[in-house]
Structures are given as C-alpha cells and as structure tokens.
A = this chain, B = another copy of it.
Amino acid sequence: MDAKSTQRKSETGGDAAQPRRPRVQKDITAAIGLDICSERYPVGSVLPKENDLCDRYGVSRTVIRESLKALAARGLVHGRPRIGTMVCEKEEWNILDPQILAWMGPRIEELDLLGCILETRRTVEPVAAEFAAERATVQEIADLENAWKRMRDAGADTEAFTRADVHFHELLLKASHNRVFRQLSSIIDAAMKYALHCSNKAVDKRDEALDIHRELVEALRLRDGAAARACSHRMLDLAARDLAPAMRQRGQAGRTHLTKSP
C-alpha cells in the first residue's frame, strides 16, 4: 500500500517522462557555471539572451534569472540592462566558493589557491590561536579536542581525516571570539578543505600533524597564548613543507613567504 511512498525519484540528470515540474535550478546554475569555468563562454563574452537560454535549457525565464543571479553573486557574471550578461574577469571570481571550486575541477591548480590560502593561514591562524588561548570557553576547547580525536581515529580514511582537520581549524577561528575571523572561517572553508586534502595526501606525515594539533589544544587549556601561537606556527611550517611539491610543480607561488616562520 506504500506504492506512493516510494516516489522519491531524485534523478538529477535524467530527462524522465513525467513533466511534473522537477527542481532544476541547481542543475541549470551548474550547467552555465560549468560552461563558464571551462571557458566555453570565455571571459568578457556576452552569453545568449535570457529567452534563448530559456529555449536552450527548456525552463522558464524565472529559473534562468535565478541562476544568473546566483552566478552573479559568485562574481562569475555581471548583467547590465539591455546589454546582456557578461562573463567577468577571473580576478572578479569568488574562487573561494565551493561551487566554483567544484566547477573548476582539475583546473583549480591554475588559481594558485594553495599559495594564497597558506599565506592567509600564516597571517591569521597564529593570532587566532593566541586569542583563543584567552577567550575560548571550556566547551569550545572540548570541541577542539573532539575534532582532534576524530582526526586520530580516522585511520587510513583520508577523507575523514581531512574533514576533521577542516573542522578543527574552523573551531579554532570561532574560538578566537572575533567576528571577522569567524566569518573568514566560513568563507575559506571550501578552499581549506582542498588545501588540507593536498597536505594530508602523505599518510606517513599525519602522525606529526596529529601531535601538534594535540599540543595546541593543550596550550589552549593552559591558557598559554604564546605556546598556542608557537604551535600554530609549527603546524603551518609542516603544512608548507607538505605542500611544497604540489606548489612547486607549477612554478609561481609567492616568493619566500610560504616557508618562513617569523
């Protein structure tokens, strides 16, 4: 009697013969976003007018417009009345957005994400650690320890390890009790995941990282700001070392800043 309860057809890519108003905006957004990231619509070009896009994708203008709005919010396109919707310069793209990272696929490497994320971490994390040492609540410190335990227990599961690692650094920024840092955390979240994933590929180096993470939690517990800061620096030195090959292999990468510990 539950023939009706089994109607959870979530066939995202399928065409299906049941034209019952499926949820398509995500797909349309992804399709256009993908076409932009793959330079099928090159930077500076104007994409087809909205009505043509409606025909091409077989949806109403509402959906097209919502999709374009979503892309505009990510800095991919910029619409002007009567002119059309133009693809923005890559400089304008919000490359920290998880969707864009997904749409870029392997081409992420062209963006020098690893470099600027590492620079940002070097700038912010030690300070955040120091702040956290005096401001974090016991609950927040406990949460950090739990995240550390999940890293420890991840075993060979690189995905799980990275997930816990990202969560750890997210919690650390939140524990700094600075609203801007906190917001920064959610902004760079997706990029952090990518960066940490690259760091963590070398399984044999994870024990070392694990130790430093634990030491950091210990420093917070002792309310020792200087020690927390130092831990953070060592952690980043480690990350820089592990990332060096991945970054060197494509030249660029800002000078010496990535490996020095001031």
Interface residues of A (CB under 8 A from B): 94-96, 111-112, 116-117, 119-120, 123-124, 127, 131, 134-135, 177-181, 183-184, 187-188, 191, 254-255, 257
Known: A116-B178, A124-B124, A178-B254. 13 other contacts (CB 8 A): A96-B179, A96-B183, A111-B179, A112-B179, A116-B179, A116-B181, A119-B127, A119-B131, A119-B178, A119-B180, A123-B123, A123-B127, A184-B184
Cα distance, A28 to B13, chains bound together (Å) = 37
Does the CB pair A257–B131 fall under 8 Å?
yes
Does more than half of chain A's interface fall in helix, strand or loop, or is it mixed? helix
Cα distance, A120 to B184, chains bound together (Å) = 10
Contact residues in B for A119 (Cβ distance below 8 Å): 127, 131, 178, 180
Contact residues in B for A112 (Cβ distance below 8 Å): 179
**Most chain B beta-carbon neighbours within 10 Å: one of A112, A179, A188:** A179
List 12 interface pairs A-B (beta carbons < 8 Å), by A numbering: A95-B179, A96-B183, A112-B179, A116-B178, A116-B179, A117-B180, A119-B131, A120-B178, A131-B257, A135-B254, A180-B191, A184-B184
Query: What residue in chain B is nearest A177 (Cβ atoms)?
Result: B254
Instruction: Give the Cβ gap from A20 to chain B, nearest Cβ, in Å.
Output: 19
Q: Which of B124, B188, B255 contacts A123 (CB 8 A)?
A: B124
Does the CB pair B178–A183 fall under 8 Å?
no
Contact residues in B for A187 (Cβ distance below 8 Å): 183, 187
Cα distance, A131 to B254, chains bound together (Å) = 9
Cα distance, A179 to B101, chains bound together (Å) = 14
Instruction: Give the Cβ gap from A11 to chain B, nearest Cβ, in Å.
Output: 20
Contact residues in B for A116 (Cβ distance below 8 Å): 178-181
Contact residues in B for A135 (Cβ distance below 8 Å): 254
Contact residues in B for A120 (Cβ distance below 8 Å): 178, 180-181
User: 4 closest Cβ contacts across the A-B interface?
Assistant: A120-B180, A123-B127, A116-B178, A116-B179
Instruction: Give the Cβ gap from A69 to chain B, nearest Cβ, in Å.
Output: 10
Contact residues in B for A183 (Cβ distance below 8 Å): 94, 96, 187
Contact residues in B for A96 (Cβ distance below 8 Å): 179-180, 183
Cα distance, A95 to B112, chains bound together (Å) = 30
Contact residues in B for A257 (Cβ distance below 8 Å): 131
Instruction: Give the Cβ gap from A206 to chain B, nearest Cβ, in Å.
Output: 25
